[in-house]
Structure 1
């Protein structure tokens, strides 16, 4: 057995005085680590507090505290008149205390010691960037969100004597007050006829799609999407075991004729739509096609998953009502959120469906998000009730329309020889088609060098498509001018 003198504690224990962790706890953690990994074996004697304090250049009281903590946790045992020893109950049974590696003791494993599944379906392009300017996927400007009012309402809820009810486990479908006010809001703005029993609250559109796919899709089912379609939704469907069937999209939206032909030869389980503004091309599904799709869904029995991610932003006229507003047979599952209406950080989504489906989805949500965010839902419910969100949206639509018009003007005047586009009737993005001779990835890299982030996920370049989805909602007018100036420079540098 090694004696205390033979163990090089000075090399084994690394003290970093810049950390917030107290020095004695740093020593405790590293000694426990050494015991757990067999560097300090059971029964070995530790140096006296004076000797170890001198070796580690710390105060003797620090080592006394170290030994007290080790003993309290059961890692050491004290034998009267002999000293402190590593507990014989330690799980490490064999090791050479001199064959240690400091990095081994202070680092965390970089890989698992067991095999794991690596899912390439869920790989997405990196989104991080230090650039101060960015074209997004169609995100809102959080600078104009009613954060002050939200903070006051949220803080007021916390101060109420009745707030304790929001801290317990909640109703499985979400905050009942919020679902009541949300049902009224959706009835007034989307032409629905629902109650809170038809609403499940979620943490955003992605969670809603995931829950719906997990419950409604079995391995081998077929899901029809637009060509092109929302890549995250496609990933979720494929992860659930579905096969993806893309069909063409034109200026009136997804092709009903193509879907009908598929239904005549194959069993379709689900149709995923972003009808208000198709993702990524922003075209609106015509009213005629909406009714035809509802009829087809009844005839062939497929589910319509309606993702209404930016319904609140429409500029020229009243928006076409969602398919679910005309659904008389319970074929549509409707998804929306306030993430785009307010700010992405407000992870507040919702799913609308017949009551029997909401109950089953609620059971599924309970095992991944039992509580939800009852406080935030209460705050959003109160903002809806006092019409603060409605006033914000009315103001925001005017701001975003001005930004849409500005971006269209800048694209036409500065980049007209390279790009073509149509001004969208709503939403926070423009679908731009570019000269096929251009390399979009190289343009993106040129932009990055000039402090403009043009994310890879916005770029669409194949044999048939050379396009960029340019989000404008997050950019002020001066920022947009600067961004287009950089984009023009990056294109001309090709």
Structure 2
């Protein structure tokens, strides 16, 4: 008789009922070949005594195994392993430690039993909002989000209209109300000329970048970015098999002269830009370079993927209009997000482009994510329609403007020799370059020990270069929190 008391490990602290745990483990023993096809199991009373369980628990477990097809009950004879299971040759199981044994009992494993390709360039830290002080990548302050207005809009969704329509399948391109309102808003604020048919709603700008990359790029295509750029974009380009080339970025943005040289020597399929505030350095692409970039796109036939991630936050005069506003030949794919404008948890982004491209992006989106969140999209659309969203933008713009000025003054007065920076015209972060003698990684580690989270900036370094810089986000912290953060930074430096 098998040593069931040793083979079966039941944990009454788990939320899974004991009879289900037992049934699952009997199934595992069958699949492992420990229990063979046609083998008779102990009687319910006998197994109950062995495992110190109530007999009804064993009965329920056997019934579950029969229902799952692992066991079969033979009238007057007992319970058996089903005959139709293929015979498995048991393999010796080597358990290296108690944790591995515990994982095995829970049915989990670290590695699959099949091969797959691991792409090193996808290994990138996931940014999250940490407790305590933080100088992040440029996140908004979620405490300022229009929660009351959103709550009212959500309630109206439940009260208004046909429930069958509200809670059924919707348009893959996004909720009609949000597409309509976004089209109006983008036309008013960014000088675009769109209709709702030019707008696809996505779950954040990263989905828009992914869809555009999958539709527009093929293995071997060439994409040009800045030497410093957003890794989330280049990861998507490389995943398609495209080759990524880079051009220098100076105080006026992307080096368009170098781009022109690339165009003369090889076909370029796409250029990725963040022209309003270049990521990560926050510089604005000079108007003359914008005009030439559009001219090159028309001349050589490449697409411009424009990520306008923080257009709504500009602190001087009216912000420079996006490239898409001057595009008359359909060369620009315009990507944006409300994540930075409201809160990261509200996963609402958008892609704006010619209708033929939007239709194709929607077809691809359908096999990845059937549709977005209709309730959230409706609520955001309502906020645009009522003007609440515009009021929120005006309020946060004033708040972030004051925080930028206060933070830059703190850096100047408290860290004059350690940090160099240019006060950004907009956005939610400062590009800070630290003394070359300073070890950025060690500094970030020491800051974390004192309760301050900030990035070490190593992932911003182009190949072979040491920028010793990082983005210090000021928007998500109050002025008092910024003072505490700079005090910690001064101590660890």
Q: Tell me which interval the TM-score lies in, with the shorter structure as reference length.
A: over 0.9
Correspondence for 1:172: 172
- Quote the RMSD (CA, aligned, Å): 2.1
1:124 counterpart = 2:119: no
Aligned match of 1:208? 208
What is the aligned counterpart of 2:468 among 463, 466, 469? 466
1:193 maps to 2:207 = no
User: Is the CA contact (8 Å cut-off) linking 2:457 and 2:468 kept in structure 1?
Assistant: no
Match of 1:12 in 2: 7
- Comparing 253-262 with 386-395, greater Cα deviation is found at 253-262
Query: Structure 2 CA distance, aligned partners of 1:361 and 1:78?
Result: 54
Distance 1:338 1:360 in 2: 23
Shift of 1:125: 3.1
3-state DSSP of counterpart to 1:408: helix
Matches within 5 A, 1:200-349: 200-349=200-349
In 2, Cα distance between equivalents of 1:121 and 1:133: 30
SS in 2 for 1:19: coil
Question: In terms of mean alpha carbon deviation, does 35-44 or 398-407 score higher?
Answer: 35-44
* Residue 383 (structure 1) aligns with: 383
CA distance in 2, matches of 1:237, 1:222: 9
Distance in structure 1 (CA, Å) of the matches to 2:420 and 2:334 = 33
The TM-score, its normalising length taken from structure 1, stands at 0.93
**Is the partner of 1:480 in helix, strand or coil?**
helix
Q: Distance in 2 between matches of 1:463 and 1:356?
A: 41
CA apart distance, 1:288? 2.5
TM norm structure 2 = 0.93
Matches within 5 A, 1:389-468: 389-457=389-457, 460=460, 463=465, 465-468=467-470
Where do 5+ consecutive residues of structure 2 fail to align?
96-100
Change (3 A) 1:248 1:94: closer
2:219–2:242 Cα contact (<8 Å) kept: yes
C-alpha deviation, 1:156, in angstroms? 2.9
Partner of 1:77, secondary structure, is strand
Kept after mapping to 2: 8 A contact 1:275/1:308: yes
Maintained 8 Å contact 2:43/2:78: yes
For residue 30 of structure 1, the aligned residue among 25, 31, 34 is: 25
Q: Is the 8 A contact 1:129 1:453 kept in 2?
A: no
Matched residues in 2 for 1:160 and 1:12: separation? 57
Q: CA deviation at 1:463?
A: 4.2
Name the CA shift for 1:51/1:198 in 2 (closer, same or farther; >3 Å). same
2:458 and 2:468 in contact (8 A); partners too: no
Q: Which runs of 5+ in 1 are unaligned?
A: 1-5
Distance 1:464 1:95, change over 3 A: closer
Q: 1:160 to 1:48 in 2, by over 3 A?
A: farther
Query: Larger deviation: 340-349 or 294-303?
Result: 294-303
1:346-403 C-alpha deviation (Å, 9 max, x unpaired): 1111101111111111111111112222221111111110111111111001111111
Change beyond 3 A, Cα 1:128–1:197: closer
Distance 1:308 1:127, change over 3 A: closer
Give the conservation status (yes or no) of the 8 Å contact 1:137–1:470: yes
8 Å contact kept, 1:440–1:459 = no
SS of the equivalent of 1:306 reads strand
Q: Quote the Cα distance in structure 2 between the aligned partners of 1:107 and 1:77.
A: 23
Query: 1:406–1:92: structure 2 CA closer, same or farther, 3 Å change rule?
Result: farther
The residue correspondences of 1:36-185 to structure 2 (distance < 5 A) are 36-95=31-90, 104=104, 106-125=106-125, 127=127, 132-185=132-185
Q: What's the CA shift string for 1:206-240, capped at 9, x where partnerless?
A: 11111111111122221111121112111211221
Q: CA deviation at 1:262?
A: 2.1
Change (3 A) 1:283 1:100: closer
Contact 1:150 1:379 in 2 (8 A): yes
Contact 1:215 1:361 in 2 (8 A): yes
Q: Is the 8 A contact 1:42 1:93 kept in 2?
A: no
The yes-or-no answer on 1:351 pairing with 2:371 is: no
CA contact (8 A) 1:33 1:105 kept: no
| Cα pair 2:170 2:374 within 8 Å, conserved | yes
Q: How many angstroms apart in 1 are the aligned matches of 2:25 and 2:264? A: 67
Per the alignment, residue 98 of structure 2 pairs with: none
> Quick one: structure 1 residues 33 and 155, their matched pair in 2 at CA, closer, same or farther if it must change by over 3 Å?
farther
